[in-house]
Amino acid sequence: MQKIRNSKEKVVDESFEGLILAYGKYWKRHPKVKGVISRTRRKDKVSLVIGGGSGHEPIYSCFVGPGLADAAVCGNIFASPDPDAIYQTAKAVDNGKGILFVYGCYAGDNMNFDMGEEFLNADGIKTAHVRGQDDVVSQPMERYDQRRGIAGNLFAVKIAGAVCDAGLPLEECARIVEKARNNTRSVGVATSPGQLPNADHPIFELPEGMIEYGMGLHGERGVKRVPMEPADTLVETMLQAIFDDGDFKAGDEVVCYLNAFGSTSVTEMAICYRRVFQILDSMGIKVHDCDINNYCRTQEMGGFSISLMQLDDELKKYYDMPCYCPYYAKGSVGEAGAADDDEAATEEAVEEPEFDDSDVEDAPVVRSKEGELDVLNAEDAKNMLLAVANKIISNVDYLTEIDNQTGDGDHGFGMAGGLQKAKKKLLAMDPTDNAYEPFETTGRTMLLSMGGASGVIFGSLFLAGSQGAEPKKELNAADLAAMEQKSLEKIQERGGASVGDKTMVDAMAPAVQALKASADKGLLEMLKAAEAAAKEGMENTKNCIAKFGKAKSLGERALGYQDAGATSVALIFEAMREFVEG
Q: In sequence order, what are the beta bridge partners of 27? A: 38
Q: Answer for the pair 462, 487: CB distance below 8 angstroms, yes or no.
A: yes
Q: Regarding beta strands 47-54 and 35-38, do their DSSP bridges make them parallel or antiparallel, or are they unpaired?
A: unpaired
Exactly one of 30, 129, 218, 411 is catalytic; which is it? 218
Q: Which is nearest to 132 in space by CA: 185, 57, 73, 85? A: 185
Contact yes or no for 572/385 (Cβ under 8 A):
no
For residues 359 and 341, what is the distance between their CA atoms, to the nearest angstrom? 42
Instruction: Tell me: pLDDT of 349 over 70.
Output: no
Question: At residue 343, does pLDDT exceed 50?
Answer: no
Q: How many other C-beta atoms are found inside a 10 Å radius of the C-beta of residue 473?
A: 11
Output the 3-class SS for 462-501: HHCCCCCCCCCCEECHHHHHHHHHHHHHHHHHHHCCCCCC
Q: Are strands 376-377 and 184-192 parallel, antiparallel or unpaired?
A: unpaired
**H-type alpha helices, 166-224:** 170-182
Does 355 have pLDDT greater than 70? Answer: yes
Q: For residue 222, what pLDDT band results from cuts at 50, 70 and 90?
A: confident
CATH superfamily of 8-322: Dihydroxyacetone kinase; domain 1 (3.40.50.10440)
Length in residues, the chain? 582
pLDDT category of residue 392 using cuts at 50, 70 and 90 = very high
The Cα–Cα gap between 238 and 218 comes to 19
Residue 322 half-sphere exposure, CB side, CA atoms within 13 Å? Answer: 8
First to last CA, the chain: 43
Question: Which of the four pLDDT bands, split at 50, 70 and 90, describes residue 204?
Answer: confident
pLDDT for residue 82 is more than 80 = yes
Confidence of residue 89 (pLDDT cuts 50, 70, 90): very high
Q: Examine the pLDDT at 357 and tell me if it is beyond 90.
A: no
**Listed ranges 159-163, 329-333, 363-367, 496-500; the one with the highest mean pLDDT:** 159-163
Q: What pLDDT sits at residue 338?
A: 42
Over residues 254-304, the pLDDT tens digits come to 999 999 999 999 999 999 999 999 999 999 999 999 999 999 998 889 999
Continuous segment of H or E residues that includes residue 127: strand 127-132
Say if strands 224-227 and 210-213 run parallel, antiparallel, or are unpaired.
antiparallel
The residue-averaged pLDDT of 453-462 equals 89
Residue 217 pLDDT level (bands cut at 50, 70, 90): confident
> Which CATH topology does 376-581 take?
1.25.40
- Residue 309 CA to residue 258 CA, distance in Å, equals 12
Q: What is the DSSP string of 25-82?
A: TTEEE-SSSSEEEESS--SSSPEEEEEEEETSTTTTTT-BSTTSBSEEEEEEETSPPP
The pLDDT, as a whole number, for residue 558 is: 87
Q: Reduce the secondary structure of 256-298 to three states and give it as a string.
A: EEEEECECCCHHHHHHHHHHHHHHHHHCCCEEEEEEEECCCCC
The confidence score (pLDDT) of residue 351 equals 56
pLDDT in tens, 166-183: 999 999 999 999 999 999
**Where are the domain boundaries for CATH 1.25.40.340 in the chain?**
376-581
Catalytic residue among 30, 56, 129, 411: 56
At residue 346 the predicted structure's pLDDT band, cuts being 50, 70 and 90, is very low
Q: Is 38:47 a contact under the CB 8 Å cutoff? A: no
Nearest by Cα to 443 from 415, 464, 429? 464
Q: What is the pLDDT of residues 511-550, one digit of tens each?
A: 999 999 999 999 999 999 999 999 999 999 999 999 887 7
Q: How would residue 339 be classed by pLDDT, with cut points 50, 70 and 90? A: very low
Query: Residues 124-147: what's their mean pLDDT?
Result: 95
Q: Number of H helices and number of E strands within the chain? A: 17, 16
H or E segment at 213? strand 210-213
Cβ–Cβ under 8 Å, residues 33 and 84: yes
pLDDT at 233 (0 to 100): 96
3-state class (DSSP) for residue 332: coil
342 confidence band (pLDDT: 50, 70, 90): very low
Instruction: Please check whether residue 519 is in contact with residue 477, taking contact to mean a CB–CB distance below 8 angstroms.
Output: yes
Round the average pLDDT of the chain to a whole number and report it. 92
- Asked whether residue 131 carries a pLDDT value surpassing 80, the answer given is yes
Residue 352 pLDDT class (50, 70, 90 cuts): low
Q: Taking 70 as the threshold, does the pLDDT of residue 239 lie above it?
A: yes
pLDDT of 335 reads 43
* pLDDT tens digits along 473-519: 999 999 999 999 999 999 999 889 999 999 999 999 999 999 999 99
> Torsions phi, psi of 558, nearest 5?
-85, -10
Q: What is the pLDDT of residues 5-51, one digit of tens each?
A: 898 888 889 999 999 999 999 999 999 999 999 999 988 999 999 99
Q: Is the pLDDT of residue 126 over 90?
A: yes
pLDDT band at 221 (very low <50, low <70, confident <90, very high): confident
Give the pLDDT score at 350: 52
Is 411 considered catalytic here? no
Q: Provide the residue type at 344 as one letter.
A: A
Strand order in the sheet with 71-77: 27-29, 35-38, 71-77, 47-54, 99-104, 127-132
Residue 195 in this model has a pLDDT that exceeds 90: no
pTM for the full predicted model: 0.80
Is pLDDT above 60 for 94? Answer: yes
Which regions of the chain carry the CATH code 3.40.50.10440?
Answer: 8-322
Task: Look up residue 581 and give its amino acid.
Answer: E
pLDDT at position 231 over 70: yes
Radius of gyration of the chain (CA): 24
pLDDT at 353: 67
What percentage of residues in the chain have a pLDDT greater than 70? 96
Tell me the CA distances in angstroms from 52 to 36, 99, 102, 239, 457, one per residue in order.
12, 16, 9, 27, 17
Q: How confident is the model at residue 189 (pLDDT cuts 50, 70, 90)?
A: very high
